[in-house]
Chains A and B, each alone.
Chain A
Amino acid sequence: MIRTIANKDIKLFLKDKKGVLLTFLLPIILITLFAFAFGGIGKTSPKMSQIKLLVSSQHSSKEITKFIDDLNNVSQLIVIEKQVEEGLELVKKGSYVAQLVLDTVVENGKAMLKYQLFVDASKRIQIGFLEGILQQHISQGKLAGFFEEKFAGMPVKLKKKIQKEVNDSFMTSGLEVVSVLRQDANKDNLGLIQAVAGTAIMMLLFSIVAIGGGLLDEKENGTFKRLLTAPIKPMHLLLGKLLMSVCIGVMQLFVMFIFAWLAFDLHIFKDIPSLLGMLFCTAFAVSSFGVFLVSIVKTRAQLNGISTLIIMIMSALGGSMIPLFVMPAFMQKIAVVSLNYWGIQGFYDIFWRNLSFIDILPRMLVLLGIGVVMLLISMPLFKRNLRQLA
């Protein structure tokens, strides 16, 4: 009897093709993503682990030019020369991980290079990696110069061996690491911002899909049919749903940030216009995504299957489930395809990078753009789907 019951349930399970796909495909996709994020899978290509480093100098000198030339030969780095101010601005906006500023100072009557690394502290993993490379490169350079000067006659092989041992045991690079955050910057915990923004956006995605699913419930209980017989344009039904989703979305995000303020002391009121702008743009993009999903599915079961798959992938990729700053560089590059990425980065800009409204505007525009594109795609799909919905 038990076997009969089990057989029946297996048959039913296998008949639900989407359910089967979800049972096996979703874990496979998530395992792959987590393996890439945490397990270092895919790091074999040297190109993939290269970091773009901005390099500037306060003035030009023979030593600085030589140092930059040597740096260009470091395989893990892509060196981009910029003016000091321009470079700092780019790092501050999160466009680059760091900028190395070189200067020459005179100590004990001797010209010495000074190294300052201005970093975007939200990219911890890459900074650590970069620091390691630079420290090694700088100290090796210093030591090579010293040996060249003091032990010119020593055999090259021996000189190199001693040089390496001294370097490994005693040398410090003198590399000074400076965060590009403003001096008046709030020192909110990056992990906290990540947790609040990441979770808020992921949860918003789930709730908006549930709201969008209301349209399918209306189909099932017949009210949608009644709405379609009223003298209103079908597209207004879709836009009405979008408007409601945006309102609920803004409220949901707002409540989550208020909670983060009350419970974890996240300073959410430091830039209210930017916060409101980001809340609206995120809610709009997420709502349009919900509307898009509702336009392509015909039943609630389909909606649940597809939305779970897409939301989990987007959240894993975009930094909601795994903080972007612990992901390898190439994963961070892929993250831009996710809606979560733009939302989380926007909230970083406000709470961590302390950027002005104008500086955050491009991220907001990207979110609005995503929303508009999703909506434009949804409209004809929804129109085509109307007969099934009725």
Chain B
Amino acid sequence: MNKKIIMTVDDSASVRQMVSFTLRGSGYEVVEAVDGADALSKLKGPRVRMMFVDLNMPNMDGIELIRAVRSKPEYKFIPIVMLTTESQASKKQEGKAAGATGWIVKPFRPEQLVAVVKKVLG
């Protein structure tokens, strides 16, 4: 089987690097995007199976991105996990309402990241 592609959307280069490194190590392919607009344009490429979305981003923030992705028929059911910090409890609700599948709280450890992938992507 081909490797499943996971997209990480984050304006922080170091977080993207960490997510990519961890997921590639667990046998997934990773596409990186720097903000919501970038993510949407990259979704037009090879099919993405899951997304990690940071909530605070310039151009198009995470909530808007989740809504935009959910409105695309081909990505209507894709698992989307948002990255939040502990101070964003209300954001978490907003994200869920927009259609996020789950969340992971920064700071997280690589094992947690992989556990979440296993949980929502199988």
A interacts with B: no
**Chain A residues proximal to chain B, CB less than 8 Å:** none
